[in-house]
Amino acid sequence: MTTSLELARAAYREVSLYTVESDPCAVDVSDNTNLWGSPPAARRALTEVTDDGFARYPSAYASKLKDALARYAGVGASCIATGCGSDDILDSAIRAFAEPGDRIAFCVPTFAMIPIFARLNGVEPVTVPMTGAWDIDPDALAGTGARVIYVCSPNNPTGTMASRDAIERLVARASGIVILDEAYAEFARSSCLDLAMVNDRVLVVRTLSKAFGLAGLRVGYAVGAPALVAEVEKSRGPYKVSVMAERAAVVALEHDQGWIADRVVDACESRERLAERLRALGLTPLPSRANFVLVPVVNAPGVASDMRARGVAVRAFQGLALVGDALRITAGPAPMMDQALVALEEALRCA
Ligand SMILES: *Cc1c(COP(=O)(O)O)cnc(C)c1O
């Protein structure tokens, strides 16, 4: 439903409520979460609550969570900002660093929430095509002169990585803030976190929603120079991480690393098998370093709704830059992949 209340901000007339297909589906491989579930120690922490600590507010900026994230990331706690998911961090960062009327630049295709968060903050999205080798184009991005530049690597929805060279070149040339979204860094075993430690205009954004298996708790974080993350926190506001989310996230960071590492291995193996089986169907999936595969398919929305009727939810994209129509499939346990591939094969046969 598109609403256009006259008294709302003018820019909101171009924005509608975020809609996802929410009818339950037997096999849901649509959202890149951890399909093996949530980490055991964190789950125990949530079920063994005996005090009533949640009668009171959490700490304003989640100081215990910051300490645990700082140990995990190998940086000082003053270099960390937290949020209600990394979506909250991205939204807050755009607001913190761009005035209404400024621009945010990014290569397409990329994370669909970025133009939405831009509009919500009165900021204009400016797009630049990715290179033919699925890399970012640092000169074109820097050449926009945008106040904020966003890079997602591994990139959602392509799964491809930006090269280290291109990111370094971008950081050297950009006049504004560079946001590096590393939601899938654990699967790639590669990170540009070090750039945020030597350059005070680089903000690395991460999440506990993907490899950590805690999407429902809504915990995200940013790493950057203390002065930079402080602006993100001002923009974000206090009390955004709930008492229970902070407790479970701290436990996961301190006690679930073995489980998470094992599931990352599982996801990468599953991804490679999935890509192989898609190629066996005559399809050409993009080279992914994340926990999902993007595969170009003619009439992707039609194929996805046929698959849904067969009990499998995937994410369909229409007319993606450089790709066209495509399906994004999250890598998960073998039985889920078997069912997803059967549904895909049948849907393609009927198309
Ligand atoms: C899933 C995802 C996020 C994370 O969202 P949360 O709000 O932390 O759940 C951020 N960026 C990208 C590119 C993603 O795919």
Distance of CA 304 to the CA centre of its chain: 21
What separation in Å is there between the alpha carbon of 229 and the centre of ligand 1?
A: 18
Angle value at C-alpha 9, between 7 and 13, nearest 5 degrees: 95
Which of 86, 155, 293, when mutated, tests ligand 1's pocket best, judged by the most ligand atoms within 8 Å of its CB? 86
CA distance linking residue 25 with residue 19, whole number of Å: 16
- Name, in order, each residue with C-beta under 8 angstroms of 179's C-beta and a sequence gap of 6 or more: 90, 93, 148, 149, 150, 151, 203, 205
Q: Which two tokens stand for residue 119?
A: 């509009």
Which of 207, 221, 292, when mutated, tests ligand 1's pocket best, judged by the most ligand atoms within 8 Å of its CB? 207
- Whole-prediction pTM: 0.97
What separation in Å is there between the alpha carbon of 152 and the centre of ligand 1?
A: 10
CA distance linking residue 338 with residue 317, whole number of Å: 22
220 CB near ligand 1 (under 6 Å): yes
What separation in Å is there between the alpha carbon of 220 and the centre of ligand 1?
A: 8
34 CB near ligand 1 (under 6 Å): no
Full set of structural domains in the chain with CATH: 4-37+258-350 (3.90.1150.10), 40-255 (3.40.640.10)
Q: In the block, which residue shows the tokens 């006259």?
A: 6
CA distance linking residue 346 with residue 351, whole number of Å: 9
Q: What is the DSSP string of 236-248?
A: H-S--S-HHHHHH
What separation in Å is there between the alpha carbon of 183 and the centre of ligand 1?
A: 6
Angle value at C-alpha 319, between 313 and 322, nearest 5 degrees: 110
| Structure letter (DSSP) for residue 131 | P
Instruction: Give the residue whose CA is nearest to atom 11 of ligand 1.
Output: 183
140 CB near ligand 1 (under 6 Å): no
| Structure letter (DSSP) for residue 162 | P
Alpha-carbon distance values, 336 to 38, 45, 268, 274 (Å):
17, 28, 15, 11
What separation in Å is there between the alpha carbon of 210 and the centre of ligand 1?
A: 8
Q: Cα dihedral angle (88, 89, 94, 99), rounded to 10 degrees?
A: 80
Inter-residue contact 208 to 249 (CB < 8 Å): yes
CA distance linking residue 257 with residue 261, whole number of Å: 6
Say what angle helices 334-350 and 300-309 make with each other, to 10 degrees: 120
- Name, in order, each residue with C-beta under 8 angstroms of 137's C-beta and a sequence gap of 6 or more: 107, 128, 129, 130, 131, 166
What pLDDT does 3 receive?
A: 56
Q: What is the mean pLDDT of each successive set of 10 residues along the chain, which is 351 residues long?
A: 73 84 88 98 92 90 98 98 98 98 98 96 96 96 98 98 98 97 97 97 98 98 98 98 97 98 98 98 98 98 96 97 97 98 96 76
What separation in Å is there between the alpha carbon of 31 and the centre of ligand 1?
A: 10
What separation in Å is there between the alpha carbon of 83 and the centre of ligand 1?
A: 12
Among 184, 223, 228, 227, which residue's Cα sits nearest to residue 205? 223
